[in-house]
């Protein structure tokens, strides 16, 4: 299956399917001006999928060199970034060459940013191996690293030239990481496609158990939605903010838990979506039954649905609210929320009264 991202001269294809790692040479070969690619990956993925990917390239006569960085979010900083850029220079990657990101969102973001600045920009290919990366981070051209001052504060818009999402790669993904990625999948249904959300209610279990057809469908539909929104608003002047459904709450919770194991990003997104629907219902924007329907689906999938599901201490409601205010999405001191008129009908607003949000958080905290 193929999804096209329409961005004029920067358009590209997302291929979604089985066996794409082994067939990578067929897709990447035609792009190359000489049969050589440099691959950035992490140590975990190097152990599970690098050999198959390099064999797929070798089958088409493409030489490879690979650098495996440590796995984990801590890699997304200056230290590993400069290591990666200098390695690419040592490999004599030139303007006409192609850099490949093989891994999850950490590798995709870092490698994409490296490609954006190397020799003022070289092409790169995303080969996402986590569900989160397949449905979200590999598409749309946001690249970058974290600063000591905050997440994703250093970066560039640099679209990939190709995305290869191999569903088979997900077979080795730990269940917790899979479900975290699923949080972003649910987000797409909730923000813009009620039919897709209903499909997920019916097929989510099969998808989690490993049903290939269901996984392909979910990744394809997610990519279609992200591609359409990015095509309308590449640099987030407007509509792209819809993709932040659940994220204002999520970012506050991630800050409160120190970006630790206590809460994975996608888990925070799922909780954030449930809270956004609860808030929408209290503001009488969406039907009263919607928040429980959202929560019921997340719970049926075995996911965290509420603040009560986050282990350890959390700050009080007022403090959590202030953590939301540190978001990039704040304009003129007003926190912008993505709220909904119903399932599949999200919109962006700065009109959520502070006291309503604090009250909601306070109740959620006291249920802990």
Assign 127 to helix, strand or coil: strand
**Rule CB under 6 A: which of 173-202 touch ligand NAD?**
173, 177
Is residue 15 exposed (0-12), middle (13-18) or buried (19+ Cβ within 10 Å)? middle
Contact by Cβ (8 Å): 3, 13: yes
Q: Which is nearer to ligand NAD, 123 or 142 (CB)?
A: 142
Of 49, 240, 255, 295, the catalytic one is: 240
152 counts as catalytic: no
DSSP 159: -
Residue 76 binds to ligand NAD (criterion: CB under 6 A): yes
Q: Which stretch binds ligand NAD (CB under 6 A): 10-18, 168-176, 190-198, 288-296?
A: 168-176
254 counts as catalytic: no
Residue 169 binds to ligand NAD (criterion: CB under 6 A): yes
255 counts as catalytic: no
265 counts as catalytic: yes
Among 72, 121, 238, 258, binds ligand NAD (CB under 6 A): 72
Q: Is the dihedral of CA 287, 288, 292, 295 positive or negative?
A: positive
List C-alpha distances in Å: 290 to 9, 191, 269, 367: 41, 13, 17, 20
Question: What gap in Å lies between CA 339 and CA 326, rounded to an integer?
Answer: 19
Q: In DSSP terms, which residues pair with 68 in a beta bridge?
A: 41
158 counts as catalytic: no
Question: What gap in Å lies between CA 32 and CA 28, rounded to an integer?
Answer: 7
List C-alpha distances in Å: 34 to 60, 122, 344: 12, 14, 46
Cβ at position 212, least distance to ligand NAD in Å: 15
Contact by Cβ (8 Å): 361, 317: yes
Q: Tell me, by CB under 6 A, how many residues bind ligand NAD.
A: 29
Residue 206: both structure tokens together: 């099969």
Q: Which is nearer to ligand NAD, 82 or 366 (CB)?
A: 82
Site string for ligand NAD, 269-308 (x = CB under 6 A): ----------------------------------------
Residue 50 binds to ligand NAD (criterion: CB under 6 A): no
Question: What gap in Å lies between CA 126 and CA 160, rounded to an integer?
Answer: 6
251 counts as catalytic: yes
Residue 233 binds to ligand NAD (criterion: CB under 6 A): no
Question: What gap in Å lies between CA 213 and CA 195, rounded to an integer?
Answer: 17
> Nearest 5 degrees, angle CA 55-CA 102-CA 98?
80
> Nearest 5 degrees, angle CA 225-CA 228-CA 230?
105
Of 184, 234, 254, 278, the catalytic one is: 184
Residue 105 binds to ligand NAD (criterion: CB under 6 A): yes
Question: What gap in Å lies between CA 356 and CA 130, rounded to an integer?
Answer: 36
Q: Which is nearer to ligand NAD, 15 or 293 (CB)?
A: 15
244 counts as catalytic: yes
Among 62, 99, 142, 298, binds ligand NAD (CB under 6 A): 142
Of 54, 224, 234, 236, the catalytic one is: 236
Known binder of ligand: residue 356?
A: no
Residues in Cβ contact with 51 at an 8 Å cutoff, skipping those fewer than 6 apart: none
Among 130, 161, 257, 281, binds ligand NAD (CB under 6 A): 130
Q: Which stretch binds ligand NAD (CB under 6 A): 16-24, 93-101, 133-141, 325-333?
A: 133-141
Residue 152 binds to ligand NAD (criterion: CB under 6 A): yes
Residue 239 binds to ligand NAD (criterion: CB under 6 A): no
Instruction: Enumerate the active-site residues.
Output: 120, 142, 184, 226, 236, 240, 244, 247, 251, 265
List, as residue ranges, the binding site for Zn(2+): 184, 247, 265
By the criterion CB under 6 A, which residues form the site for ligand NAD? 42, 44-45, 48-49, 71-73, 76, 103-107, 109, 129-130, 132-133, 136-137, 140, 142, 152, 169, 172-173, 177, 265
């Amino acid at each position: 299956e193929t999804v096209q991202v329409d961005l004029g001269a920067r358009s590209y294809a997302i291929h979604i399917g089985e066996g794409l790692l082994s067939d990578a040479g067929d897709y990447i070969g035609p792009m190359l001006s000489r049969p050589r690619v440099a691959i950035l990956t992490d140590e975990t993925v190097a152990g599970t999928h690098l050999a198959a990917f390099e064999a797929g390239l070798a089958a088409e006569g493409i030489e490879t060199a690979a650098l495996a960085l440590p796995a984990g979010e801590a890699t997304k900083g200056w230290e590993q970034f400069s290591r990666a850029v200098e390695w690419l220079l040592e490999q004599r990657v030139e303007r006409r060459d192609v850099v490949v990101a093989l891994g999850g969102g950490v590798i995709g973001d870092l490698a994409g940013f490296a490609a954006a600045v190397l020799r003022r920009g070289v092409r790169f290919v995303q080969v996402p191996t986590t569900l989160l990366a397949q449905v979200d981070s590999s598409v749309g051209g946001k690249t970058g690293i974290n600063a000591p001052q905050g997440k994703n504060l250093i970066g560039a818009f640099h679209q990939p030239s190709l995305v290869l999402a191999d569903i088979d790669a997900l077979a080795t993904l730990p269940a917790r990481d899979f479900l975290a990625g699923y949080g972003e999948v649910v987000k797409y249904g909730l923000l813009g496609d009620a039919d897709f959300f209903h499909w997920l209610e019916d097929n989510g279990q099969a998808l989690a158990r490993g049903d290939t057809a269901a996984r392909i469908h979910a990744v394809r539909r997610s990519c279609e939605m992200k591609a359409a929104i990015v095509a309308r608003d590449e640099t987030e002047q407007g509509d792209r903010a819809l993709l932040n459904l659940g994220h204002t709450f999520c970012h506050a919770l991630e800050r409160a838990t120190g970006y630790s194991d206590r809460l994975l990003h996608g888990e925070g997104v799922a909780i954030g979506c449930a809270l956004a629907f609860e808030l929408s219902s209290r503001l009488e924007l969406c039907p009263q039954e919607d928040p429980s329907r959202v929560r019921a689906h997340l719970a049926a999938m075995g996911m965290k649905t509420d603040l009560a599901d986050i282990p350890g201490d959390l700050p009080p409601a007022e403090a959590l609210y202030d953590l939301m205010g540190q978001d990039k999405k704040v304009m003129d001191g007003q926190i912008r929320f993505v709220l909904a008129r119903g399932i599949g009908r999200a919109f962006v607003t700065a009109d959520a009264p502070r006291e309503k949000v604090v009250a909601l958080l306070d109740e959620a905290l006291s249920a802990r």
